[in-house]
């Protein structure tokens, strides 16, 4: 069974709708299971997210999708508190190295700088040694209306009064399936017995 963690912050309904759509896409792929992991404000202490149980669930999955609304040109502070908390052993020991990663975000405008949030997710994934998964869908060149707003990095959605455009929701569903399929391909060929640091010789001095 391939497991995909969907870790996200949602202040209202729109981002949570996308998270559930992405989970539906994950589970549309045979032998794949989505694990929804909302970032909750009650776990934020002195600006840092503290919920070891959630991190341990992410340690065990094969891929992670990061989600947050875009506020003032970047992810919400609640999601950033979660991301900052990965700077411990998840970063120093590269515990998530080799896992697939993707991102999704929503804003009130068609172009409210949502791509900056996806770029942040991409950098976060790179720092953690993860493999970034883009949409692989050309905007305007598919009958299903996927990637309506033309972001190749991940899902960009527009919300109005808590309602998300149906094409954007379909794009989230598609990304969930795409992420799962790539996770299956990678895990089926991975050398799971070799620690990351042991794959390469020590640098010559």
pLDDT at residue 198 tops 50: no
The predicted pLDDT at position 190 comes to 61
Element (H, E) at 26: helix 14-27
CATH class (in words) of the domain with range 2-199: alpha beta
What is the rounded distance in angstroms from the CA atom of residue 113 to the CA atom of residue 70?
7
What is the rounded distance in angstroms from the CA atom of residue 66 to the CA atom of residue 157?
14
pLDDT in tens, 5-25: 999 999 888 999 999 999 999
pLDDT confidence tier of residue 204, bands split at 50, 70 and 90: very low
Other Cβ atoms closer than 10 A to 123? 12
pLDDT in tens, 152-177: 999 999 888 878 999 999 999 999 99
**Can you read off the two tokens belonging to residue 62?**
């094969």
The predicted pLDDT at position 108 comes to 83
């Amino acid at each position: 069974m391939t497991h995909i963690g969907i870790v996200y912050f949602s202040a209202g309904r729109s981002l949570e709708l996308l998270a559930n759509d992405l989970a539906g896409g994950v589970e549309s792929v045979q032998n794949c299971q989505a694990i929804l992991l909302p970032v909750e404000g009650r776990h934020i202490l002195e600006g840092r997210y503290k919920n070891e149980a959630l991190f341990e669930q992410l340690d065990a999955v094969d891929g992670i999708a990061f989600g947050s609304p875009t506020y003032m040109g970047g992810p919400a502070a609640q999601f950033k508190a979660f991301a900052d908390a990965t700077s411990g052993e998840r970063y120093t020991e590269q515990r998530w190295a080799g896992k697939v990663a993707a991102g999704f975000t929503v804003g009130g405008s068609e172009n409210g700088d949502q791509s900056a949030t996806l770029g942040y997710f991409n950098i976060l994934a790179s720092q953690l040694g993860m493999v970034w998964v883009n949409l692989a869908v050309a905007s305007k060149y598919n009958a299903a209306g996927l990637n309506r707003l033309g972001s190749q990095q991940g899902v960009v959605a527009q919300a109005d009064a808590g309602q998300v455009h149906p094409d954007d929701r379909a794009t989230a569903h598609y990304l969930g399936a795409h992420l799962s399929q790539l996770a299956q391909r990678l895990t089926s060929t991975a050398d799971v017995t070799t620690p990351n640091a042991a794959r390469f010789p020590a640098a010559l001095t």
